[in-house]
Structure 1
């Protein structure tokens, strides 16, 4: 099932499959002009979108071998985080996704490398110096640098940068989106206060799947 279920993200005009693959939108979809056909696609899109997220959230690392790995699915989450976040202003033609610290994703990042997010190319960068982070639009804070979390949060405070991590407890410490594994499932929490402070708008479609939403 993981290899065949995909959903059409009309914001980026691409098909996204729940196993982490991202496919270009078929030409036939863009040529549909019939009103009822379009309406049907919207209904199907909404249903499959919900199913897509449910499949991601129900992933179990102890499952069968053909299931995607934990970090392959977390890469898919990263892409969806980018697709369902609005920045206060456009950033040329590139959206910089920075992996700060030791990269836990490995070759799984190839599934989103140079893909489009709302007409912008997703450019993956690996950063070691904290001084390089203000040039990013998304920063994934790896566990290897979590000891420097306070310094990172202070540096990015008030800047239009989406912070993401997968370390327990950092959502309450100022990370906007924090992924985790709970009871064999991939989950995430959102710090809406931090996102808004940084001028970011997290889509309601994204927030509905968060296990916790921190806000004042």
Structure 2
């Protein structure tokens, strides 16, 4: 059993039973479609194994991009930057070149804060969290979606912050920073947030 988005209302996809709740399938198609893309990308021998934390989080990264609106986007591509030491490994190949808002997602890696203003999405890794205040200050007011998976990151100014609780991926949202950065997060996404900071 694999949980893609968890909340007070359980929305689950079941591999073994082939049973998917109809409401989930219709309303959260991007979640389920990426679920199957991830499955198809792994050898059959690994399907019985419990998915890793960061394999689960890649699906959330895709949905974060799909359910966010930018005031404007560059032609054709959506730059997704991983700042710091990459924790995703080969799991990111399932995100590379997928499309969100008719734009191809291009994953880039950087350890230089000067590269970040050219990104539309920045994932701040745990290895770089000590620089968080400087990063938030530098990107303040820019239409850039910041994401992390470090406790307390949303309160410090990261827009979306993921966590693992009881084997499920959860996330918090900082709407005050999203609005300041001129980003619109879908209400369909926000309803699954465990905490929304206004």
Q: Same fold (TM over 0.5)?
A: yes
- Given the superposition, is the C-alpha separation of residues 87 and 21 from structure 1 closer, same or farther in structure 2, using an over 3 Å criterion? same
Q: Take 1:9 and 1:177, find their aligned partners in 2: how far apart are those partners? A: 21
- How far has the Cα of 1:181 moved from its partner? 1.3
Secondary structure of 2:158's match? coil
Q: Which aligned pairs between 1:120-135 and structure 2 lie closer than 5 A?
A: 120-135=103-118
1:139 to 99, 112, 122: 122
Q: Take 1:170 and 1:152, find their aligned partners in 2: how far apart are those partners? A: 12
Q: What is the match of residue 46 of structure 1? A: none
- Given the superposition, is the C-alpha separation of residues 10 and 175 from structure 1 closer, same or farther in structure 2, using an over 3 Å criterion? closer
Q: Which aligned pairs between 1:49-128 and structure 2 lie closer than 5 A?
A: 66-128=49-111
2:153 to 158, 170, 174: 170
Alignment gaps of 5+ in structure 2: 1-13, 41-46
Q: Take 1:181 and 1:106, find their aligned partners in 2: how far apart are those partners? A: 18
- Match status 1:195 vs 2:178: yes
Q: Take 1:7 and 1:104, find their aligned partners in 2: how far apart are those partners? A: 29
Q: Take 1:89 and 1:22, find their aligned partners in 2: how far apart are those partners? A: 33
Q: What is the match of residue 189 of structure 2? A: 206
- Match status 1:16 vs 2:29: no
- Given the superposition, is the C-alpha separation of residues 9 and 120 from structure 1 closer, same or farther in structure 2, using an over 3 Å criterion? farther
Q: Take 1:118 and 1:22, find their aligned partners in 2: how far apart are those partners? A: 23
CA deviations 1:112-151 (Å, max 9, x no partner) are: 1101111100000001101100000000000000000011
Secondary structure of 1:175's match? coil
Secondary structure of 1:172's match? coil
Structure index of larger Rg = 1
Aligned residues: 174
Q: Which runs of at least 4 in structure 1 moved beyond 6 Å after TM superposition?
A: 8-12
CA deviations 1:144-172 (Å, max 9, x no partner) are: 00000011000000000000000000100
Contact conserved, 1:7 with 1:17, CA < 8 A, in 2?
Answer: no
Q: Take 1:146 and 1:115, find their aligned partners in 2: how far apart are those partners? A: 27
Q: Take 1:71 and 1:141, find their aligned partners in 2: how far apart are those partners? A: 14
In the superposition, the TM-score normalised over structure 1's length comes to 0.74
